[in-house]
């Protein structure tokens, strides 16, 4: 980085050496922008950090740009009216469709959690045995954080403006932007900024990767790349130290389904509403076509996941080629005859008495709240139950404990033996692994001049930084919270 007078400055307000809280402030000679305004997630002390807004003047922001609709990238947008922001929120079309629902349901959830806390009915879960797992379970004592009201969520929702992929848009004095497909979840984008120089020279090019999906994505269309190298790439590094095992996930899934059907077992799968749910649905749709699911209903117990899934079918051009063709033929690639969607608590409870072989997909993906926790509570002590994990589980939460051999747990105050079979299918991720990330950079028009690694643990990004220095450029930085990166 040069020490000359900067043309562009990027200040890191989140996701510095961690995987949540994405938020970057861009200052140019004539404009002031924010890229992402995500929540910090995890333990209660992480959630508390959300109450302290970044130290910047929100009233002077020309626009807020959003890479995608995951809460670690967009979850604090509902705070914008309270902070004095009055400009537009810019997103791709699918993200713009999702954001109002994500923000209003987040406001509702914040309200519900407060009421549950006051009434002593907040969902709870922890491992009781073996002891070494029990010790890591955090106990939540403080009241949950309330960041914004329903009214403010709706105000922000009204300010969201959609911009098509790959189209340059002038968004502020001397600044143009465009969205590039990131193959992560529906609507997810990298953001390219072109900033005019005061002297009329070549514009400064910034690229914010957002979350980068796998290069070979079975669900989504391939990534889009810029035709010009970036001066500064702000890049995620979630899986920078990880290489996924080469396993056939579909084969593993159908083995589980065949056995469950033969033994009359229920398969409970914790999923996140946007991304993981659709990846699993796509595999189940294939299993349905292959006749594996005959007589075995699949319940999708999440209104948000149902709505997000509909969105995939409404944007066929963003889907993987064969799925795109299915959509063109009029077939929804995420729908199949055995699928039943449950949109309310009442509908969720209607399957409590189902004792025959079935699959239940429900949130939360960490298995610590939402309808999945109720399903698990009702069935975990029964040997005709399987709990299928397909994603990373946070240390200290119930899902992590179950994957690591918990034998007795407490859910909503009830102590229960774990008699359910615990299954895991590894390697299903919305994020590319280190090989994918390297390939993504390798397919750019040229290596970025500088790469700043964010959105990864300190260890993951440090390991990925070494890989990048070896293969791409020596100018790789690992910024801390509050650091300012300058491009001259
Ligand atoms: Zn994401």
Cis peptide before 261 (omega within 30 of 0): no
Å from CA of 436 to ligand 1 middle: 16
Dump pLDDT digits (tens) for 139-189: 566 778 889 999 999 999 999 999 999 999 999 999 999 999 999 999 999
Å from CA of 211 to ligand 1 middle: 5
SS3 annotation, 172-208:
ECCEEEEEEECCCCCCCEEEEEEECCCCCCCCEEEEE
Asked whether the predicted pLDDT for residue 2 surpasses 80, the reply is: no
User: What was the pLDDT predicted at 44?
Assistant: 76
Å from CA of 132 to ligand 1 middle: 31
Given its phi and psi angles, is residue 237 left (phi above 0), alpha (psi -120 to 50 degrees) or beta? alpha
- What percentage of residues in the chain have a pLDDT greater than 90? 82
| Beta strand residue intervals within 329-487, DSSP E | 339-342, 358-362, 385-389, 408-411, 414-417, 421-424, 450-454, 476-477, 484-487
Q: 């996941």: which residue's tokens?
A: 305
Å from CA of 386 to ligand 1 middle: 27
Average pLDDT over residues 132-139: 64
Å from CA of 67 to ligand 1 middle: 9
pLDDT mean across residues, the chain: 93
Å from CA of 196 to ligand 1 middle: 30
73's enclosing H/E stretch is helix 71-74
Å from CA of 236 to ligand 1 middle: 10
Å from CA of 358 to ligand 1 middle: 29
Tokens linked to 208: 């914010």
Å from CA of 184 to ligand 1 middle: 7
Asked whether the predicted pLDDT for residue 108 surpasses 70, the reply is: yes
Dump pLDDT digits (tens) for 363-408: 988 888 899 999 999 999 999 999 999 988 877 788 989 999 999 9
Å from CA of 385 to ligand 1 middle: 30
Å from CA of 223 to ligand 1 middle: 15
Neighbours of 275 (CB within 10 A): 28
Å from CA of 431 to ligand 1 middle: 8
Å from CA of 220 to ligand 1 middle: 14
- Give 34's strand partners: 25, 64
| pLDDT band at residue 1 using 50, 70 and 90 as cut-offs | very low
Å from CA of 119 to ligand 1 middle: 33
Half-sphere exposure of 483 (CA within 13 A, CB side): 15
Is-above-0.85 flag for pTM?
A: yes
Å from CA of 430 to ligand 1 middle: 7
User: What was the pLDDT predicted at 119?
Assistant: 86
Q: Find the range with the poorest average confidence among 129-138, 284-293, 360-369, 453-462.
A: 129-138
Who surrounds ion ligand 1 at CB < 5 A? Answer: 70, 211
Å from CA of 18 to ligand 1 middle: 13
List the strands of the sheet with 339-342, edge to edge: 339-342, 298-301, 358-362, 266-270, 385-389, 421-424
Å from CA of 415 to ligand 1 middle: 34
Å from CA of 312 to ligand 1 middle: 16
Dump pLDDT digits (tens) for 417-441: 999 999 999 888 899 999 999 999 9
Å from CA of 488 to ligand 1 middle: 30
Alpha helical stretches, state H, 329-406: 345-349, 370-379, 398-403
Å from CA of 189 to ligand 1 middle: 10
Dump pLDDT digits (tens) for 180-195: 999 999 999 999 999 9
Residues 6+ apart with CB under 8 A from 32: 25, 26, 57, 60, 61, 62, 172
User: What was the pLDDT predicted at 137?
Assistant: 52
Å from CA of 257 to ligand 1 middle: 28
For 239, phi then psi, to 5°, come to: -105, 30
Å from CA of 91 to ligand 1 middle: 14
Average pLDDT over residues 76-81: 97
| pLDDT band at residue 246 using 50, 70 and 90 as cut-offs | confident
Distance in angstroms (rounded) separating the CA atoms of residues 178 and 206: 11
Do 388 and 360 touch, CB atoms closer than 8 A? no
Å from CA of 70 to ligand 1 middle: 5
Distance in angstroms (rounded) separating the CA atoms of residues 307 and 101: 9
Among residues 427, 440, 438, which one has the least CA distance to residue 463?
438
Among residues 380, 395, 366, 347, which one has the least CA distance to residue 272?
366
Dump pLDDT digits (tens) for 257-290: 999 999 999 999 999 999 999 999 999 999 999 9
Domains and CATH numbers, the chain: 8-121+144-242+430-487 (3.60.15.10), 249-424 (3.40.50.10890)
């Amino acid at each position: 980085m040069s020490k000359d007078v900067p043309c562009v400055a990027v200040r890191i307000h989140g996701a510095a050496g961690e995987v949540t809280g994405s938020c970057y402030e861009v200052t140019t000679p004539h404009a002031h922008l924010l890229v992402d305004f995500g929540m910090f997630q995890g333990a209660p002390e992480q959630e508390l950090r959300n109450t302290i807004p970044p130290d910047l003047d929100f009233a002077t922001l020309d626009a807020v740009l959003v890479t995608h609709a995951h809460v670690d990238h967009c979850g604090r947008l509902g705070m914008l009216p309270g902070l004095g922001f009055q400009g537009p929120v810019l997103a791709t079309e699918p993200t713009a469709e999702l954001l109002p629902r994500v923000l209003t349901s987040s406001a509702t959830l914040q309200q519900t959690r407060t009421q549950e806390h006051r009434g002593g009915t907040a969902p709870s879960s922890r491992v009781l045995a073996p002891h070494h797992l029990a010790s890591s379970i955090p106990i939540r004592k403080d009241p949950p954080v309330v960041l914004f009201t329903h009214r403010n969520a709706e105000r922000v929702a009204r300010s969201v403006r959609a911009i098509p992929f790959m189209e340059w848009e002038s968004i502020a004095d001397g600044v143009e932007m465009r969205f590039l497909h990131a193959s992560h979840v529906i609507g997810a984008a990298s953001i390219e900024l072109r900033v005019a120089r005061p002297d009329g020279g070549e514009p400064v090019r910034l690229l914010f990767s957002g979350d980068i999906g796998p290069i070979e994505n079975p669900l989504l269309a391939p990534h889009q790349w810029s035709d010009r190298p970036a001066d500064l790439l702000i890049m995620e590094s979630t899986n920078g130290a990880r290489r996924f095992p080469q396993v056939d996930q579909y084969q593993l899934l159908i083995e589980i389904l065949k056995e469950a059907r033969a033994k009359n077992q229920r398969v409970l799968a914790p999923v996140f509403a946007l991304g993981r749910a659709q990846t699993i649905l796509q595999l189940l749709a294939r299993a349905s076509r292959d006749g594996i699911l005959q007589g075995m209903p699949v319940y999708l117990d999440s209104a948000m996941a149902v709505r997000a899934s509909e969105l995939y079918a409404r944007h066929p051009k963003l889907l993987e080629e064969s799925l795109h063709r299915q959509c063109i033929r009029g077939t929804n690639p995420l729908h199949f005859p055995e699928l039943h969607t449950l949109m309310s608590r009442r509908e969720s409870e209607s399957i409590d008495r189902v004792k025959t072989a079935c699959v239940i997909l429900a949130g939360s993906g960490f298995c610590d709240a939402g309808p999945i926790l109720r399903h698990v509570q009702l069935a975990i002590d029964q040997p005709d139950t399987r709990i299928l994990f397909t994603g990373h589980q946070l240390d200290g939460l119930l899902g992590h404990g179950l994957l690591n051999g918990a034998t007795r747990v407490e859910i909503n105050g009830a102590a229960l033996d774990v008699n359910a079979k615990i299954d895991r299918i590894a390697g299903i991720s919305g994020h590319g692994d280190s090989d994918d990330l390297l390939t993504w950079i390798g397919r750019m028009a040229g290596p970025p001049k500088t790469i700043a690694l964010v959105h990864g643990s300190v260890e993951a990004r440090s390991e990925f930084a070494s890989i990048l220095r070896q293969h791409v450029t020596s100018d790789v930085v690992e910024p801390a919270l509050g650091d300012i990166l300058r491009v001259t």
